Amino acid sequence: MRLRNIPGADEYINDSPYVINDAKSLKGHWQSDLFLNNNPLHIEIGMGKGQFITTLAEKTPEINYIGIERYSSVLYKAVLRFEKAPMDNLRFLCEDARELTEIFDENEINKIYLNFSDPWPKDRHAKRRLTAPGFLEIYHEIISPEGLLEFKTDNTNLFDYSLSTINDSPLWEMCNYTYDLHNEPTLNEGNIMTEYEAKFSKLGNPIHKLIAKPI
Ligand SMILES: C[S@@+](CC[C@H](N)C(=O)[O-])C[C@H]1O[C@@H](n2cnc3c(N)ncnc32)[C@H](O)[C@@H]1O
């Protein structure tokens, strides 16, 4: 998702108290210096307009959340919505996932959500997929040993690719997966729909989900 450039979006985001501009300086101290508690830290990478993580933060105030989106024009929409009902347990970053190890310390993250990540269908762009081996290495550096990686998509090619990168990875172990989340009562329990999930399941597309844990 890349919305057309929105004039003033960068400035708005820079000035928002809900968007962390000096993220790298908080590495290793997110709980103590930003959230001022010792609660677990969960992140969503590529959160788009933030429907999923905002709903999750409302439902589970005992977890700290960071929503990460690389385009300011997209994040701007999420921040505008969040400002109407801000919460202490959710903050945002305008960053690329490639930067994560500069931002979070080893073991600092307890759960990583990837939802409807861009498919990058061409082989020559495979490295840009958020479940490519290079990204799995980055996530492994910041996830705690008891942590989890959860990924949802309706794109079967991307899902098959992700199952194989995780199964082939010496760093991650598959815990569970389904090609039809909404008809899988156990995995679907408590499921929170993302914007893309609502849109594509309405069109009749089955939603795929996998859960992996670090080795
Ligand atoms: C297809 S949208 C899905 C949005 C949302 N997660 C949902 O399910 O409705 C994917 C989002 O991931 C963001 N994104 C893609 N690659 C990224 C990266 N390397 N770092 C951070 N965000 C990224 C895109 O800008 C886009 O907003």
Per-residue model confidence as pLDDT tens digits over 59-88: 999 999 999 999 999 999 999 999 999 999
- Calculate how far, in angstroms, residue 26's C-alpha sits from the geometric centre of ligand 1: 23
- Candidate of 5, 43, 44, 47 to mutate for ligand 1, largest count of ligand atoms within 8 Å of Cβ: 47
Average pLDDT over residues 162-178: 98
pTM over 0.95: yes
Question: What CA–CA distances, in Å, run from 43 to 7, 47, 65, 112, 168?
Answer: 28, 9, 6, 5, 24
Q: Which two tokens stand for residue 20?
A: 């962390």
What confidence tier does 1 reach under pLDDT thresholds 50, 70, 90?
Answer: low
Q: Does 213 have pLDDT greater than 70?
A: yes
Indicate the average pLDDT of the chain: 96
Tens-digit pLDDT profile for residues 6-15: 888 899 999 9
Tens-digit pLDDT profile for residues 116-143: 999 999 999 999 999 999 999 999 999 9
Q: Which two tokens stand for residue 163?
A: 């199952």
Which residue reads 């992700």 in tokens? 162
Active-site residue identified among 15, 118, 154, 180: 118
Tally of residues, the chain: 215
Please spell the DSSP secondary structure of 88-147, one letter per residue. TTEEEE---GGGHHHHS-TT-EEEEEEES-----SGGGGGGSTTSHHHHHHHHHHEEEEE
Which domains occur in the chain, in start order? Answer: 9-214 (3.40.50.150)
Average pLDDT over residues 24-53: 97
- Looking at residue 56, its pLDDT comes to 98
